[in-house]
Structure 1
């Protein structure tokens, strides 16, 4: 999980914005393949995914890592 601060590449990026960008790029199916969590594969929605990710640190860490990897590849 990100700790915040200016040195943190996720500083200023909300979990909602991060998730919306990943869905835009990979789609729900792509997210489900990359991060094995049910909220991405069974009736996915931003709201249910945010709820799950906010209370499941290991899943949030995987999603944040995927976001950073994706953003690096797009640059």
Structure 2
């Protein structure tokens, strides 16, 4: 019988473990604003009538864009 491990034990080296994509996008928008965020990560959902909902929908379907957003998030929290 396998016992359930605590979340921190399952992925101890993953800094994104337990962080929701919505939290990442909200944090980046509050840090940079839509205009600057759209200049850094060039995707339409950040530049044309941006909303959290439309951005999440795109990022969940598009791996390369999600990876860029996650990388920016990690760089931003590292520099705080």
Taking only aligned residues, the RMSD between alpha carbons, in angstroms, comes to 1.1
Q: For each residue in 1:10-64, what CA deviation from the matched residue of structure 2 results, as whole angstroms up to 9, or x when unmatched?
A: 0110000010000000000111011010000000000000000000000000000
- State the number of aligned residues: 71
Give the TM-score normalised by structure 2: 0.86
Structure 1 segments, 4+ long, off by >4 Å, are none
Residues in 1 aligned to 2:12 and 2:19: alpha-carbon distance in whole angstroms: 12
Of 14, 18, 37, the match for 2:20: 14
Q: Where in structure 1 are there 5+ consecutive unaligned residues?
A: none
Larger Rg over CA atoms: 2
Q: Where in structure 2 are there 5+ consecutive unaligned residues?
A: 1-9
Residues in 2 aligned to 1:5 and 1:55: alpha-carbon distance in whole angstroms: 23
Greater RCO, CA 8 A, separation 6+: 1
Structure 1 match to 2:4:
none
Give the TM-score normalised by structure 1: 0.91
